[in-house]
A and B are shown apart, each in its own frame.
Chain A
Amino acid sequence: MSSGKRIKVFVTASTIDNSGEEMHQLLQDAKVPSKVILDSAVGFIMEEVDLVIVGAEGVAESGGIINKIGTYQMAVMAKALNKPFYVVAESFKFVRMYPLNQGDLPNDEKYTSVNSSEDSHPYIDYSPPQYITLLFSDIGVLTPSAVSDELIKLYL
Chain B
Amino acid sequence: MSSPSPKKQDKEEQKQKAVKAGEGKKGQGKEDGGSGGGGEHGAAVKKPTTKAERRALQEAQRKAKEERLAAQGKGTAKQTTSTSGGGAKRSQASKGGEGGAKLEGKPLEVPRPTRQRNSSSSTSVTTDDHRPNKSSKSSKKATEQQVETGRRVKQLQLFSHLQQYSKAPSSPTLPWHSVSTYTSIHPAIIKLGLHYSHGVICGSNSRCVAMLAAFKKVINDYTTPVQKELRRDLDAHIRPFINFLTHCRPLSVSMGNAIKYLKREISKIGPDQSESEAKRLLCATIDEYLELYIVKAGTEISKLCQNIIKDNDVILVYAFSSVVQRVLLDAHCSGRQFRVIVVDSRPKMEGRHMLRTLVQKGVKCSYVLINAVSYIMKEVSKVIVGAHSLLANGYVMSRIGTSQVALVARSFNVPVLVCCETYKFSDRVQTDSIVNNELGDPNDLVQINRRQGNFLTGWKDIPCLGLLNLVYDVTSPDLVSMVITELGVIPCTSVPVVLRISRDETAAV
Q: Establish whether residues B493 and A101, one from each chain, have CB atoms under 8 Å apart when the complex forms.
A: no
CA gap between A91 and B116 in the complex, in Å: 45
Q: Establish whether residues A98 and B482, one from each chain, have CB atoms under 8 Å apart when the complex forms.
A: yes
CA gap between A100 and B413 in the complex, in Å: 10
Q: Establish whether residues B382 and A61, one from each chain, have CB atoms under 8 Å apart when the complex forms.
A: no
Report the stretch among A25-33, A35-43, A145-153 that lies at the interface: A145-153
What per-residue 1/0 map shows which CB atoms of B484-509 lie under 8 Å from chain A? 00011111011001100100000000
Give the nearest-CB partner of A147 in chain B: B491
Q: Establish whether residues A100 and B382, one from each chain, have CB atoms under 8 Å apart when the complex forms.
A: yes
| B489 interface neighbour in A98, A149, A156, Cβ under 8 Å | A98
Given known A-B contacts A98-B482, A100-B308, A100-B382, A148 and B494 have beta carbons under 8 A apart: yes
A96 within 8 A of B: yes
User: In the complex, which residues of chain B have a beta carbon less than 8 angstroms from the beta carbon of A130?
Assistant: 478
Residue numbers of B with Cβ under 8 A of A are 308, 382, 415, 417, 478, 481-482, 487-491, 493-494, 497-498, 501
User: In the complex, which residues of chain B have a beta carbon less than 8 angstroms from the beta carbon of A155?
Assistant: 488
Q: Establish whether residues B415 and A100, one from each chain, have CB atoms under 8 Å apart when the complex forms.
A: yes
Q: Give, as a whole number of angstroms, the nearest-CB distance from B394 to chain A.
A: 8
Residue numbers of A with Cβ under 8 A of B are 61-63, 96, 98, 100-101, 129-130, 144-145, 148-149, 152, 155-156
Given known A-B contacts A130-B478, A148-B497, A152-B498, A96 and B488 have beta carbons under 8 A apart: yes
CA gap between A129 and B501 in the complex, in Å: 24
Q: Establish whether residues B415 and A148, one from each chain, have CB atoms under 8 Å apart when the complex forms.
A: no
Q: Establish whether residues A61 and B489, one from each chain, have CB atoms under 8 Å apart when the complex forms.
A: yes
Q: Give, as a whole number of angstroms, the nearest-CB distance from A106 to chain B.
A: 11
CA gap between A130 and B493 in the complex, in Å: 12
19 residue pairs from A and B, CB less than 8 Å apart: A61-B488, A61-B489, A61-B491, A96-B488, A98-B482, A98-B489, A100-B308, A100-B482, A129-B491, A144-B491, A145-B493, A145-B494, A148-B491, A149-B497, A152-B488, A152-B494, A152-B498, A156-B487, A156-B488
Q: Establish whether residues A63 and B491, one from each chain, have CB atoms under 8 Å apart when the complex forms.
A: yes
CA gap between A149 and B499 in the complex, in Å: 11
Closest 7 CB pairs of A and B: A145-B493, A148-B494, A100-B415, A98-B489, A149-B497, A148-B491, A62-B491
Q: Establish whether residues A101 and B491, one from each chain, have CB atoms under 8 Å apart when the complex forms.
A: no
Q: Establish whether residues A152 and B490, one from each chain, have CB atoms under 8 Å apart when the complex forms.
A: yes
Q: Establish whether residues B482 and A156, one from each chain, have CB atoms under 8 Å apart when the complex forms.
A: no
